[in-house]
Structures are given as structure tokens and as C-alpha cells.
Amino acid sequence: MPSILRLLRYLAMAVLLMGAFALEMAPVSAHSSSDGFLTLISTNGRVDVRLDLAVRDLDVILPIDADGDGNIRWGELRNAEGALKGYVDSRLHLSANGRKSTVVWQPLKLARHSDGVYAVLIGVITDDHNMDPLSIDYNLLFHADRDHRGLLSLQGAGSLEPESAVLSPSEPHFEWQPGTAKATGGWTRMVVEGVHHIWTGYDHLLFLLALLLPSVAGRNPAGGWSWASNFREVIGRVVRLVTAFTAAHSITLALAAFGWARLPSRGVESVIALSVAAAAFNNVRPFFRHQAVMMAFGFGLIHGFGFASALSELNLSGGGLLRGLVGFNCGVELGQLTLVALFLPLAYAIRRSWCYQRVAVMGGSILILGVASGWLVERSLDLKFMPF
């Protein structure tokens, strides 16, 4: 009973912390992701194009900040408009039947997304040749950032809902049939993006690692060390932890993706950092003890809102949203299972050693606690000093 009361107090503190941050809604990026948003709408032989690119990303590849003061002003961005359009035309190719299509761009605009200010290019393709299928080659920013992703939203004539796709350095090409509004390979790409997201979401990875570290050897109530007697025992323990975490973040990921529940970005990311710190501290000085599954489930609910941020900007709806959600979540689970499969056999083999107990469990947990504490300060106070 005392352990359950401690858990309830801890979750209550997390809720109060999120409520405090809800009072100031300055957006904070969860993983400093680099995303470009490309929207194509085909109607009556015409394709409308919209491209959103983060100003912070463009400043890395183009001489936008002319005075070098670290602040990009509208005048500086307007002066770089020609260079920006030239860069886009050289690295974004839309073509049909082997013929490159020309996009007629309107004057540059700005838009605010959840993670900052974006430069917006709006244009139209009015070529007289058949645009079905339309080939998309997206090579923007990949040369500067291998983690950049191009998020596509595609809608053809007569379609009730848009299709979606994710373009990456390994898969920059996409074939689209505007006449049928059918995009191919979208679900598979969402699975791949889910794997990519979990492997580049260091806070999620460290939370899972902090849960896994004591699964083969940990501190007992007397203060000494105990270790698992057989691998089946370890598998059972890890299955319960991962299932609780997966079930929880799947629930809130779906709720957030369908717009049924929303929480402030800063509060979510701060509590995620807090969850990593709590899981690591629990390995050093156990306070949840036999409630690790409840901890995994409770904090997993918050992590689900963090995963949802990767889908929020795609503007999916209906079946497209459901397919994207399922594909992305499957990718997240594959990424998690890969970590478990790589970690457990090695950890089990050395579980009785001083190196694992003192260096891996204690030292690793202290290191995770330090990193998570830095994230918590950074995210809660809207600062930036962590290298990742």
C-alpha cells in the first residue's frame, strides 16, 4: 500500500507540473526534429504545391542571417528569397513521363508550426502533359542533416481524404497517381519512420533502458544485490514492463492523433524528461520497488503524447490517419523490441559481475539521471544547452 501511495503522489506531482507549464504555452520541440512539409493537391489537370521549411534549418544551408546576430528578420529572409527558390528548384523535382514539371512560385510567406517559424512557398504546376503518375524526388536538406524528413500530404481529385508518405535520405523518391489519389508505399514508410523516431528519440530510449537495466540484476530491499536465476524469469519481467509501456503510450498516441486529447507541448516534454530521471533514480535508490510495471504504464501515458508530435503536422484524416497511426506505432514497437533483443542476452550473461552491477546499473543510471535532469531544466525553462 505505501508503494501505491508513493506512485499516486508522484503521478499527482507530474500532473501539477504539466498544469503549471500549461499556463505558458511557448512550444518546445521534443527531439529537435528537422521536418519539411510538402502538400500536393491535384484538381482538373492542375497540381497545387505548398512547401514549408523551418527557418532554423534554412539558415544552416543559406546565408540568411546577413548581420550574423543570430536573429533572422523578415527583411533578411526576403533578401534570400531568390536563393531559397533556386535551392528548392534544384533539389525538389516533380515530373511526369520523364519530363520535369515547372512549379510557378508565389512570393514567400511565413507560417508558425509547433516547433517554430517556417518559410512557406506556394506554387502551381499547370503543364499541359499528363500528370498521372507524378514522380516526386525530394532531396532538400538531406546533405546537411541525415535526420531530416520530408512529410508529404497528397490529395487527388475526388478524394475525400489525403494520403501521406515520409521521404528520407534512403527513400527520397515517391510515385503518386493523382487521378486515383492513391499513394503507394505509405504504410511501409510510416513503419520505417516509427523505427527512426524511437531510435532518434533519446528520451524514450533512455527511459526504456532505465527500466531494462535492473531486469537481470538489481538492489534488494536489504540494500544488497540480487540477480535473476534463469532467463525465463527475465523474459517474463521484461514482457510485463514493455507491455505496460506499449499499452499506455499506444492509448495516448491514438487519443492525441485523433484529436480527442491534447496537452501542452512544454508540459509533455518536461514530464517525459522527469520520467527518465525517475526511472534512473529508482535504480540508484529504489522507491517504486515492486511497482515498476505501474511506473512504466503511468509514464508511458505521457510518452504517447510525445510520440503523437511526430504525426500531428501531417494533417491526416479518416483512413489515412488510421493507417498512418498503425504503421507508425508498429515501427515504434519494432524499434523497442530491437533494443530489448540487443540488450537482454548480453546483460543476462554478465549479470553477476561487478562491472554490470556497479558500472552498468549504478553508473549508467547516474549518467541517465544527469542527462534527464538537464533535459528537465532545459524544457521546463525554455532553454537550450544540451547537445542533444
- Asked whether 120 and 110 are in contact (CB, 8 A), the reply is yes
Distances (CA, A) of 280 to 208, 250, 268, 338: 10, 23, 19, 21
- Angstrom distance (rounded) from CA 296 to CA 110: 40
Mean pLDDT, the chain, integer: 81
Rounded to whole angstroms, what are the CA distances from 191 to 194, 195, 252, 293? 5, 6, 18, 26
pLDDT the model gives residue 31: 45
CA distance 270 to 340: 25
Q: Which pLDDT value is given to residue 230?
A: 86
Tens digit of pLDDT for each residue in 140-185? 999 988 888 888 888 876 665 667 778 889 889 988 876 554 444 5
Residue 319 has a pLDDT of 60
* Cα separation, 332 vs 324, whole angstroms: 12
Of the ranges 108-122, 298-312, 362-376, the best mean pLDDT one: 362-376
pLDDT digits (tens, 9 = 90+) for 365-374: 999 999 999 9
| DSSP states of 240-266 | HHHHHHHHHHHHHHHHHHTTS----HH
**Among candidates 57, 202, 196, which has minimal Cα distance to 116?**
57
Helix %, strand %, coil % for the chain, to 5? 50, 20, 30
Q: What are the domain boundaries of the chain?
A: 2-30+201-380, 35-185
- Confidence (pLDDT) at 320: 66
DSSP assignment of 270-296: HHHHHHHHHHHHHHHS-SSGGGHHHHH
Higher pLDDT, 325 or 318: 325
Give pLDDT, residue 21: 37
Question: The C-alpha cell of 112 is what?
Answer: 508558425
**pLDDT band for position 13 (cuts 50, 70, 90):** very low
pTM, entire model? 0.68
Q: Does residue 16 register a pLDDT over 50? A: no
Q: What whole-number distance in Å separates Cα of residue 357 and Cα of residue 226?
A: 10
